[in-house]
Amino acid sequence: MRLRALIPVLGLVSLVACSTHWPMYRHNVLRSGGQINASDLSNPAKVPSLAVQWTFSVPAADTVAGMNAGFHASPIEYDNRVFVGSGNGRMYALNASTGAVLWKFPAPPANPLRSQWVCNPSSEGIGASAAIARIGGTDAIIFGAPDTSFGTGFGEGRLFALNATTGAVIWKSPVIARLTGTTGSPAELHQQIGYSSPVVYDDRIYVGVADHCDNPIQKGRVVSVRLNDGSIDPAFTYCSAGTCADSTRGGGVWSGVAVWDEGVYATTGNANTGGSEPSPNHGLSMLKLNRTTGAVLWKFQPVPYALDWDPDWSSGPNVMLASCGLLAVSTMKDGWTHAIDAKAGARKWTFPPATIPFNSADGTIHGDTDYRRAAAAWGDVLITSTGGLTVSSDLNAGFSRLHALNACASDADRIRWIVDVPGASGPWTLGPPTVTRGIVYVGTSSGNLVAIADPSVAPAAGWRCSNIDVPTASCVASGYTLVPQPAILANIALSGSMLYTEAAIAEGRLFVATGGGNVYMLKP
């Protein structure tokens, strides 16, 4: 890593996860989901005493009729302030020590940030986490949301920059995601920012554009916005299907992009709309884009157009500064995890091992299954919700489990450990994990916050077969290996699902938002 390359872009936030705060979704521009700084939350002797210190609940008066007050965006933390956007269309700034409200935006009775075209949680109010930046010497938060006060009035998507201390508007961007009607007609544009959290790097902000639940499918894009004034940078152009000027559609960028050095790393959704394949087709791909121009530097597309039954890369990219090189890693909805050489674009490995690209004769299925949560990286270890060794025969096998994968090992030693997460059962069960020095925190759809210890920091609870369908006693004889089952250090019941939200690890405290409209601060 070249220190000279880091100096111009450090600002308030360390790019390489050095910050003790949690200043953006997945903590940093690599989207690692990891906190490297030691605290009681990384101490296995103290984690079992983890307890709620305060709770904030969205006031009923803040939510207009027909809107959901739950949280699908995760909290961020900076300078003892927590920032989180709600499904009710309001951004909240809270005192991180007490949970007291510092400001709201827009403050009632002003209208909330909302869309007139709502079809799933990504369409409800503010669906993506914010990011901290510095604009003209002022601490600012940047976030994307729909806004009925401009454009067509239907709730087109734009970015907002607010003074982090007061909530005052610094700037509002032009339209980034177009919404030109609410009838569902293919002639209308139904774009949205949705779950794509913005990332700030140097003097630019990058954000993805997808659609309102494929109704109808839209053209995926990544947009570059100037940090100082919110204007769109016309020099950066990326579209997933065809050209940006034609009518082809597909390849939505559902999750936040990652940035490192000269590259913007993005993952895209399906491009098969029932017609002929667009050209070029960057759907179902992991890509590296030139962060100045948006030009595609490399593309990895494991599922061909003919097998596209909607296995989006909706979990987003994780860029790992691994001992074996810079890796871009992500899991597709079909349950396969892929690691790519982030510099050259060559595939390093696939889990479970497979012949890539997939083909119609290999018996694999590539549809809209539940592997869509971002992974967490800790050194050379990737913690992810993935299909596991049985994904070809049992797509459901990994839904309630986390796998830890050794990113720099051979295929034979890929699996580090497997754990069944308490409170998780079946599809749509686990939220995105976060990790600090080997302690993994993950939420469940039933409202459990679970702490799991890597066996290197606390003794494992036992052993299990790498193939979960094979009994432990016959594992080795059947040609598989025994892997640790890590210990569960804490299992705390909270109110509301954590299916979409991550636990932010900051200053020795956990900050969690739930679908029940609550924000919690916990610490040992």
Write the pLDDT tens digit of every residue in 123-141. 899 999 999 999 999 999 9
Task: For 503-515, write each residue's pLDDT tens digit.
Answer: 999 999 999 999 9
Please give the Cα distance from 523 to 465 (Å, whole number). 34
Tokens of 232: 């769109």
Share of the chain above pLDDT 70, in %: 97
pLDDT on residue 15:
43
- Please give the pLDDT value at position 426: 78
Task: Classify residue 354 as exposed, middle or buried by CB count within 10 Å of its CB (0-12, 13-18, 19+).
Answer: middle
Phi-psi region of 379 (alpha: psi -120 to 50; beta: other; left: phi over 0): left
Distance CA 306, CA 338 (A): 20
Question: pLDDT for 220-273, tens place per residue?
Answer: 999 999 999 999 999 999 999 999 999 999 999 999 999 999 999 999 999 988
Mean pLDDT of the chain, nearest integer: 94
The dihedrals phi and psi of 356, each to the nearest 5 degrees, come to -115, 135
Tell me whether strands 258-260 and 263-267 are parallel, antiparallel or unpaired.
antiparallel
Judge contact between 107 and 89, C-beta under 8 A. no
Q: Above 70 in pLDDT, residue 170?
A: yes
pLDDT of residue 488: 98
Q: Which of 15-19, 104-108, 186-190 has the lowest mean pLDDT?
A: 15-19
Q: What pLDDT band is residue 16 in, cutting at 50, 70 and 90?
A: very low
In three-state secondary structure terms, 474 is: helix
Question: Which residues are registered as beta bridge partners of 377?
Answer: 382
pLDDT digits (tens, 9 = 90+) for 278-298: 999 999 999 999 999 999 999
Size of the chain in residues: 524
- Chain-centroid distance of CA 427 in Å reads 18
Domain count, the chain: 1
Closest of 36, 31, 35, 37 to residue 327, by C-alpha: 31
| Tally of CB atoms within 10 A around 426 | 10
Q: Are 81 and 92 in contact (CB under 8 A)?
A: no
Q: Which domain holds residue 379?
A: 3-523
For CA atoms 321, 323, 328, 332, the dihedral sign is negative
Residues 6+ apart with CB under 8 A from 26: 32, 33, 197, 256, 316, 318, 374, 376, 432, 434, 502
pLDDT range class, residue 275, cuts 50, 70, 90: confident
For residue 18, the model assigns a pLDDT of 80
Q: How far apart are CA 130 and CA 198, in angstroms?
A: 7
**How many C-alpha atoms does 183 have within 13 Å on its Cβ side?**
5
Kindly tell me if the per-residue pLDDT of 396 is higher than 90: no
Distance between CA 327 and CA 381 in Å, rounded? 12
Supply angle C-alpha 343, 34, 138, rounded to 5. 90
Q: What is the pLDDT of residue 333?
A: 95
Q: Which structure tokens are listed for 47?
A: 């984690």
For 400, other C-beta atoms within 10 Å of its C-beta total 21
pLDDT at 395: 85
- Asked if residue 352 lies in contact with residue 361, where contact means CB atoms within 8 angstroms, the answer is no
Residue 463: which CATH number? Answer: 2.140.10.10
